[in-house]
Amino acid sequence: MKHDHSNFAVRQAYGSSVQQKVTQFLPLVRKLAWYYEGHGSATIDVDDLMQAGMMALTEAAQRHDRPSDDGFAAYAKMRVRGAMVDLLRGQSHKPRSAASWSRKRDCAEQGLRTELGRAPTAAEMAGAMDMPLDRYEAMRFAASTSSTSIEECYSDSDSAFGDERPDPEASLLASEDSSVLAGAIAALPERLQLVLKLYFIEELNLNEIAAVLGVSVPRVHQLKADALKKARVALVSQTD
């Protein structure tokens, strides 16, 4: 009996740990979804990217089967980013849009309310929608949190997106006042802004950026160089 209680306590700790990790790294999913939005098929929107990212994050949290966070941040970032890149490259099944999924969920909920005479539980909803409970919870969470502003995604207080990779160009940009730097980057064309975000913030390599943008690696190198050059010029003009 003591052994059973111990197992229950461990399972409970792991279950709590999974939810905590999903909640902690939700900003990571939001940011990646906003960064990748608009750079794939027109049928894939932020909500679709959020759902793909939430699935990957939930699976990562479940596979990282220990309560400590050792190594989880890097693992989660890799899995979430990979899921979204795969979606944009058409290598994964096209997800239902959040709006379509929400309609299906509402229909299932109404049917269960009528049948049961009460509000259905999450497990009952998952069964009615023919999906595992953890997947249902993740999709419900994604649908309820995907409507977030781009300003929220750039929060300086978010520790999930620190860029610690040494780079001469990054050091140059990092030496500038954050508000001035933000203005300089905002002045760049949208495509060049995305290249800088993917490279310095998301830490994608040139091959990965090429896959997201649908261009060659040499072209990504050119875009990166052009973006940095224009950012430096903008910084100089703002500080003169």
Residue 196: which domain range? 163-239
Query: Does 11 share its domain with 40?
Result: yes
What would the pLDDT profile of 3-60 be if each residue is shown by its tens digit? 444 344 334 444 456 777 888 888 888 888 877 776 655 567 777 888 888 888 888 8
CATH number at residue 223: 1.20.140.160
What would the pLDDT profile of 56-101 be if each residue is shown by its tens digit? 888 888 776 554 555 778 888 888 888 888 887 764 444 445 556 6
Q: Given a cut of 80, is residue 192 above it in pLDDT?
A: yes
CA-closest candidate to residue 18, choices 55, 59, 49 = 59
40, part of any domain: yes
Query: Does 148 share its domain with 175?
Result: no
> Which pLDDT belongs to residue 181?
64
What does the alpha-carbon distance between residue 49 and residue 52 come to, in Å, rounded to a whole number?
A: 5
Using CA atoms of 119, 19, 90, 39 in order, give the dihedral in degrees to the nearest 10.
100
Average pLDDT of the chain is 69
Query: Does 119 share its domain with 190?
Result: no
Query: Does 129 share its domain with 172?
Result: no
Query: Does 16 share its domain with 127?
Result: yes
**Sorting pLDDT into bands at 50, 70 and 90, what band is 142?**
low
Q: Given a cut of 60, is residue 151 above it in pLDDT?
A: no
Amino acid type, 186: A
Query: Does 172 share its domain with 148?
Result: no
**Sorting pLDDT into bands at 50, 70 and 90, what band is 165?**
very low
More confident position, 121 or 21: 121
Radius of gyration of the chain (CA): 21
Query: Does 187 share its domain with 131?
Result: no
Residue 176: phi and psi, rounded to 5, are -85, 155
Please state the domain count of the chain: 2
158, part of any domain: no
Query: Does 148 share its domain with 171?
Result: no
More confident position, 22 or 145: 22
Query: Does 83 share its domain with 191?
Result: no
